[in-house]
Amino acid sequence: SGRSVIVVGPLLSLHQCGLPREIAIELFQTFVIRGLIRQDVASNTGIAKRKIREKEPIVWEILQEVMQGHPVLLNRAPTLHRLGIQAFQPILVEGRAICLHPLVCKGFNADFDGDQMAVHVPLSLEAQAEAR
């Protein structure tokens, strides 16, 4: 999981959230490692981790592919009702803040004056299906 400040992302669709590269690579690291090994870019986990640390271009391509199939859950504490935690399709963004479409903020009771949100990746197939 990760946590960051939220900023407005007016170009995003309602079902999308902008995830900073630093957070995304941490959240999806195991999936990226598997992708690097499957595509024969790395022969083992150690080499794959080094490629991630060095931020090679192939890492970002694989991360994009991985993120397309994995929803993320955004949560703004305190979670007082169902809309306090919602699923989104992650999109890579520059910077260090999570981007949200302004129209989804009401459910979270969030605004853009320094509010923080947590990001979680559902791992099991059942959890991913429920998030969709």
Question: What are the mean pLDDT values of the chain's consecutive 10-residue runs (132 residues total)?
Answer: 91 94 94 93 91 92 92 87 88 94 89 91 80 75
Please state, in angstroms and rounded to a whole number, the distance separating the CA atoms of residues 30 and 130.
Answer: 21
End-to-end CA, the chain: 18
Say what the pLDDT of residue 111 is: 86
Q: What is the pTM of this model?
A: 0.87
Say what the pLDDT of residue 78 is: 81
Fold for 1-20+71-132, please state it.
Answer: Barwin-like endoglucanases (2.40.40)
What are the structural domain ranges in the chain?
1-20+71-132, 29-69
| 10-35: burial string, b at 16+ Cβ within 10 Å, e else | eebeeebbbbbbebbbebbbebbbeb
Give the angle 88-56-125 at the CA atoms, nearest 5°.
35
Say what the pLDDT of residue 130 is: 77
Say what the pLDDT of residue 92 is: 94
Q: Which residues partner with 3 through β-bridges?
A: 118
The full length of the chain comes to 132
Please state, in angstroms and rounded to a whole number, the distance separating the CA atoms of residues 25 and 63.
Answer: 7
Say what the pLDDT of residue 47 is: 92
Please state, in angstroms and rounded to a whole number, the distance separating the CA atoms of residues 97 and 52.
Answer: 21
Say what the pLDDT of residue 128 is: 81
